Structure 1
Amino acid sequence: MNQSSNGVTLVLMSYNYMGSVKSVLFIVIFLVYVASLIANVVVMSLIYLDTTLHKPMFLFLFSLIVNGLIGSTAVWPNVMIILLTDDNKTSIEGCLIQAFLMITYGACNFSMLTVMAYDRFVSIFKPLQYHVIMNPQKVTKLLFVAHFLPAVFILGQICLSSQITLCKYTVHRIFCDNLSFYSLSCNDSFQNQISNLYGLCVFIVFGVLPLFLIILSYFKIIMLILKATRTARQKAFETCTPHLIIFINFSLASFFSVIYNRVSPDLPPEINIILSINYNLIPPLLHPIIYGIKNQEIKQSLAKIKRMPVVSIRLTARKSAK
């Protein structure tokens, strides 16, 4: 039976327990989301305009930022609308689309972090061959694979999920994801088992495997750094620290989010909100902040933009007006 043709809707139950917290939550989400948009657009503009930043590391950062903006925009504008209107219902199709965007965001994030770890690995272990190994053709292929493969595999997961029969229509989250949608199924049929097995394979390929590869690459990097000179250690730490911070934060957020999905009936809804914010609202804000603070090339590029004639004239005019 085509459930959507009968006007079946799903209810996002977490909003029913918020009460007076809704207005505070709206303000927090709005401020963080807008700050994230502004900060990310600034860094993306710097990378696009400054040709000295047209390097693999910054192209990967640009891609990571775009993915983060897609992931946050797939959720938070809709969350803010629900907080304002109290209309916490969604269609099955809308829920599946949001689930697709959310899982793709997570998988592509891990894929990009793996590509960035590989880039750092090559730059430290083979600095003289770096530009030969990380040539434009290879960078393009890495970017394509990091986005295309997760999207295709997850589309298959969503197609399988769309075929399951639903017996429950209340989602105990503030947005839809595949695990919460799957929990609405009627029984443990063969079709459900296939969908669950496929989802487990996707999780291993785009979650566990990237995690293992990144940890392995950093283990080797740390072993090399310990044997290097003080100057080399400092340079290596400066190169790897931003990526490592982002990787650790996103890995922990993803881990706790998966655990929450498995035991959500036993946990208060407030934890759902905190984990959701830390999963795909905070990471997109961290990308420009951490790379902007830690990366000297980004700082220098921003300083060059400020020294441009048009910008200088505007800054002078503002000071004069004051």
Structure 2
Amino acid sequence: MNSSQVSSFTLSGYTDTGLFRFPLFLVVLLLYVLIVAANVAVMLVICVNRSLHEPMYMFLCSLFVNELYGSTGLFPSLLVQILSDLHTVPAPLCFLQVYCLYSYGGIEFLSLAIMSYDRYLAICFPLRYHALMTLKRVGFLTALIWLYPLFINMVFVSWTVRLQLCGNVINKVYCDNFYIVRLSCSDTTAYSVFGLVHIFTVIFGLFLLILYTYMRILWVCCTGSKLTRRKAVSTCTPHLVSLLNFFSGSFFEIIQSRFNMSRLPNAMRIFFSLYWLTSQPLASPLLYGLNVTKIRDVLLTIAHLRAAAK
């Protein structure tokens, strides 16, 4: 059976919520509205205020756009499935969701790596920062953040679509590429090798970049002035928390996908499954909006002006 002949996939990760179906639907809907509102609000603050038109905030805008992209790839389908009794997804929509969610993860990781590099230049080379991080370089890095994950995941998904499948049941609450590949009847060795090469070259390379930049930043903090340490802490803390949050969610996702989690309660498996996709879009605008001094000051000014107007 070729995957093109599979008309739909069944998501078996859902359980019968009974009377809790509608409260759960409202909670998930509220969560989605909060994510959209928070990310759009911080983006508008950055776009409207010319004082925030700097490389760091441009990368943040790109990050927030990606949070909206990833959330939209998950939540509408999740809301439909909560109210559904069958929990089936048409094959084209399932592959589209796989593409959206995996490219979201790639864009997120690449964004965090580029932002680490940006903070490294700002703290280790403060006098040369604007000469090194020019508008042209910002444009190039932003294009790289988006184009590479969108392209490479198109390759992965187009490969998955061509696989011969022996089933259509995905043991998750959303479509997952790894689970679809496990349904394959054909040899997936070449697919696995390509994936491993990608992990060890690109993903491991980005991880080393993040590690190197923060080792250099830590060295500057240890040997620099009190003002340098204060600047490093104020600008790097939200980014470090965001990195740890993303890596934690990715770790949960990898563990659940690669190992047998059948002994865990279903509710816990669903939580781990969704944490990677929901924690970042909700946490990022709060982390950067409340902890980055310039954004926080602008938000406070807007709040004071609105209060005075009333």
Q: Secondary structure at the match of 2:104?
A: helix
Structure 1 residues 1-322: aligned runs within 5 Å: 2-5=2-5, 8-16=7-15, 18=17, 21-187=20-186, 189=187, 192-264=188-260, 266-268=262-264, 269-306=266-303, 311=306, 315-316=309-310
Cα distance in 2, alignment partners of residues 52 and 28 from structure 1: 37
- Cα separation, 2, equivalents of 1:264 and 1:24: 30
TM-superposed CA distance for 1:223, in Å, is 1.9
Shift of 1:67: 0.5
Cα deviation for residue 96 of structure 1 reads 1.3
Query: How far has the Cα of 1:85 moved from its partner?
Result: 2.4
CA contact 1:10–1:170 (8 Å) conserved in 2: yes
Q: Contact 2:252 / 2:273 at 8 angstroms: preserved in 1? A: no
Letter in 2 for 1:266: S
Cα deviations by residue, 1:227-265 (Å, 9 ceiling, x for unpaired): 223332122111100100000100111122011101145
Task: Tell me the distance in 1 between the aligned counterparts of 2:170 and 2:110.
Answer: 28
Q: Give the counterpart letter for 1:302 in structure 2.
A: L
CA contact (8 A) 2:2 2:164 kept: no
Q: Distance in 2 between matches of 1:158 and 1:222?
A: 39
In structure 2, distance between residues paired with 1:203 and 1:97: 22
Tell me the distance in 2 between the aligned counterparts of 1:264 and 1:72: 27
Q: Distance in 2 between matches of 1:29 and 1:264?
A: 27
With over 3 angstroms needed to count, the CA separation of the structure-2 counterparts of 1:229 and 1:282, relative to structure 1, is same
1:82-116 CA distance string (max 9 Å, x none): 10122410122221111111110111101000110
- Report the Cα distance in structure 2 between the residues aligned to 1:291 and 1:271, rounded to whole angstroms: 29
Unaligned regions of 5+ residues in structure 2, if any? Answer: none
Shift in Å at residue 146 of structure 1?
A: 1.1
- In 2, Cα distance between the equivalents of 1:78 and 1:220? 43
Residue by residue over 1:277-302, the C-alpha shift from the partner in whole angstroms, topping out at 9 and shown as x without a partner, is: 32111211111101111111012222
Contact 2:124 2:216 (C-alpha < 8 Å) held by counterparts: no
Return the alpha-carbon distance in structure 2 between the equivalents of residues 135 and 267 of structure 1: 52
CA shift in 2, pair 1:170/1:8, >3 Å: same
For 2:167, give the aligned amino acid.
K
Report the 3-state secondary structure (helix = DSSP H, G, I; strand = E; otherwise coil) of the residue aligned with 1:16: coil
Root-mean-square deviation (CA, aligned residues, Å) is: 2.0
Deviation at 1:210, TM superposition (A): 1.7
The residue aligned with 1:319 is: none
SS class of match (1:173): coil
Which stretch has the larger CA shift, 237-246 or 276-285?
276-285
Aligned counterparts of 1:171 and 1:2: Cα–Cα separation in 2: 16
Distance 1:96 1:182 in 2: 12
The code of the aligned residue for 1:217 comes to T
Secondary structure of 1:153's counterpart equals: helix
- SS of aligned partner of 1:174: coil
**Structure 1 residues 120-166: Cα deviation after superposition (integer angstroms, max 9, x where no partner):** 00001100000011110000000001110111111101111111111
> Given the superposition, is the C-alpha separation of residues 3 and 290 from structure 1 closer, same or farther in structure 2, using an over 3 Å criterion?
closer
TM-score norm. by structure 2 comes to 0.93
SS at match of 1:15: coil
